[in-house]
Structure 1
Amino acid sequence: MGTTTQRLTSRIPKIGDRSDRKDVVSVVKLHGVINPQSTPLARGVINLATVESALTRAFDHDRLQAVALSINSPGGAPTQSGLVAERIRQLADEKNVPVLAFTEDVAASGGYWLACAADEIFAHRTSLVGSIGVISGGFGFPGLLERFGVERRLYTAGKNKSRLDPFSPEKPEDIEWLGKLHNELHEMFVDWVRERRGDRLTSEEDLFTGDVWHGAKAAKLGLVDGLGNLRDIVGLRYPDAEIVAAEPKKALLARLGIGAPAAALLDAVESRATWSRFGL
């Protein structure tokens, strides 16, 4: 009986032993605003926590030929942009496989930071690419509390602890401090782009003013390597490979479409404001 069982089971191909398996090109979607906050209601949010599992799966195929990044992001938090980009490079170096980035509607600011993690970048001719700069914003309400008879009580240890408090009058020294912080972050962004793009960048225009360009112009400036879409480029480069998607996991409530209306509204407003800077 044992011999018969062994003969039968020996005919079943083991996982990883098939000789007819195809080569693989993994695709990871990086779509949405880059935001450190991952809530159960979050949709289309990019940060290291939300994309880690997808990146790990994408680089885990034993017949992996390349990883393609499908990028559609107006940017967001610089730290999360850096963390995700560094994780992509770490995995690419470990597996020794090329990474190709494909921009869709927009790869701007932090979205372009992510694209620069790839060895090559391709854009659609109508994509918006660039926005290599730093931005922050907020609102000031110094007279709002007084209008409603509310007394503001703020206690700090450290003279600079209350910088940019929205309910206090704006101070010139706070604006100067924020400007220096922006300049330092901008320099880090520029260094990253120069490191990744090297001599492919043109000196034809100042690329680091925060401006954006359509894909065709971005190709001339060296911000991207060429024009094309994911399926066409991958099909030409790897004609015998199977394209396999590695999707980031969504929180349970997001998958069910359930969430608090107020939280969902705030998420939608913030996301809409970020996309609208690029007319989208």
Structure 2
Amino acid sequence: MNDNPNWERQLLEKLAMAALLEQRRTRQWKIFFRLLWLAILAFMVIGLFLRNDDRAGDALTGSGHTAVISPEGVIDSSNNTAEKLIAGLKDAYDDKGTRGIIIEANSPGGSPVLSGVAYDEIRRQKKLHPTIPLYVVVDEVCASGCYYIAAAADKIYVDKASIVGSIGVLSDGFGFTGAMEKLGIERRLKTAGENKAMGDPFSPLNSKHEAIRQQLLDDIHRQFIKAVKDGRGSRLKTTADTFSGMVWLGEKSIPLGLADGYGTVQSVARDVIKAEKTMDYTQQDDFASRVARRMGVEFAGGVKSLFNTRMF
């Protein structure tokens, strides 16, 4: 037993002091993180204003710049490629300092729908801004859906080792009926609508469904071919392989009319557009947008997998 008659009071005072110190620490950490987020926000705002000031300065001095948009990766809804490309084009065209636009392409292709949307928007914007040239500069690869988009440009520049072409469409999947039989698994599928289960990997091949799928592929391929012919015009030297899905190195693509010459972003800006200064208009996602879109993609994935058509 404690001999100090005031031990209970002292214990309570110590506990109260400890609680007070903990509250102070918590409050200090809260203040620290708030200040940190304010500092990050301030840097972002300052960076935005500096970028806008640079653009405004170009417009006032008349020196101008070359706008660069760099879409990369697969052209699909998870990357939001087409929407970001379209948004970048709008910003570039709206800037009075823009003397020309370069799309720095590096993609194996992707969705025929999104590729077509981007293609149509490029052609629309070109009609609205006929004095601002738009070029594509191929980095490593511009194939399939990426080439679909590139065909809308005024000219396409490549490296001698770039991969170009793949003007074709595919739809792939798997069939598990043989494995199911060996494992003794029975497929119990009910549908309303005779073509609703088209592409189901757990059902036997259906000749009618396969014919429908092939017709869809042929129709999309026809749209792709028309877009390339419209975009490239008389420059295109059509051969038996042009629309077969074959790819070519950059040095082979030029004689075929799939590309117009050699060039990099820097050389095209300097020597073709005559505005050596470049400004990046590539759209970037914030964290919230990435999370929200990812959730939407996950929900949609089950439906897309039934008929996954793409251009690579």
Taking structure 2 as the reference length, the TM-score comes to 0.70
- CA shift in 2, pair 1:47/1:16, >3 Å: closer
Write out aligned runs for 1:223-242 (5 A): 223-242=258-277
Partner Cα separation in structure 2 for residue 120 and residue 130 of structure 1: 15
Instruction: Tell me if structure 1 keeps the 8 A contact 2:225–2:243.
Output: yes
Within the candidate set 75, 94, 104, 1:34 is matched to 75
Question: 1:25 matched to which residue of 2?
Answer: 66
Q: Which runs of 4+ in 1 moved over 6 A?
A: 253-256
- CA shift in 2, pair 1:240/1:81, >3 Å: closer
Deviations 1:35-81 (A, max 9, x none): 1x33xxxxxx2533333332221222113211100001111110000
Residue identity opposite 1:55 in structure 2: L
Partner Cα separation in structure 1 for residue 86 and residue 60 of structure 2: 30
Question: 1:181 matched to which residue of 2?
Answer: 216
Question: 2:127 matched to which residue of 1?
Answer: 93
Within the candidate set 61, 67, 87, 1:53 is matched to 87
Partner Cα separation in structure 2 for residue 118 and residue 174 of structure 1: 37
Within the candidate set 80, 96, 103, 1:62 is matched to 96
Residue identity opposite 1:24 in structure 2: H
- CA shift in 2, pair 1:149/1:201, >3 Å: same
Instruction: Tell me if structure 2 keeps the 8 A contact 1:59–1:95.
Output: yes
Residue identity opposite 1:213 in structure 2: W
Residue identity opposite 1:182 in structure 2: L
Question: 1:250 matched to which residue of 2?
Answer: 285
Deviations 1:55-112 (A, max 9, x none): 2212221132111000011111100000111122222222222110011111110010
Instruction: Tell me if structure 2 keeps the 8 A contact 1:27–1:69.
Output: yes
Residue identity opposite 1:120 in structure 2: K
Residue identity opposite 1:34 in structure 2: I
Instruction: Tell me if structure 2 keeps the 8 A contact 1:25–1:66.
Output: yes
Deviations 1:158-194 (A, max 9, x none): 1111111111112222222211211111111111111
Q: Which moved more, 1:78-87 or 1:244-253?
A: 244-253
Question: 1:134 matched to which residue of 2?
Answer: 169
Question: 1:158 matched to which residue of 2?
Answer: 193
Instruction: Tell me if structure 1 keeps the 8 A contact 2:71–2:282.
Output: no
Deviations 1:132-157 (A, max 9, x none): 01111111122555666665332222
Partner Cα separation in structure 2 for residue 51 and residue 30 of structure 1: 7
Based on CA coordinates, which of the two structures has the bigger radius of gyration? 2
Within the candidate set 248, 252, 264, 1:213 is matched to 248
Residue identity opposite 2:107 in structure 1: S
Three-state SS of the structure 1 residue aligned to 2:99 is strand
Three-state SS of the structure 2 residue aligned to 1:33 is coil
**Count of aligned positions:** 242
Where structure 2 has 5 or more consecutive residues not aligned to the other structure, the ranges are: 1-52, 302-311
Partner Cα separation in structure 1 for residue 219 and residue 86 of structure 2: 28
Question: 1:41 matched to which residue of 2?
Answer: none
Taking structure 1 as the reference length, the TM-score comes to 0.77
Instruction: Tell me if structure 1 keeps the 8 A contact 2:69–2:88.
Output: yes
Within the candidate set 87, 97, 122, 2:157 is matched to 122
- CA shift in 2, pair 1:123/1:242, >3 Å: same
- Of Structure 1 and Structure 2, the greater helix share is in 2
1:250 Cα deviation (Å)?
A: 1.9
Over aligned residues, Cα RMSD in angstroms?
2.9
- CA shift in 2, pair 1:111/1:152, >3 Å: same
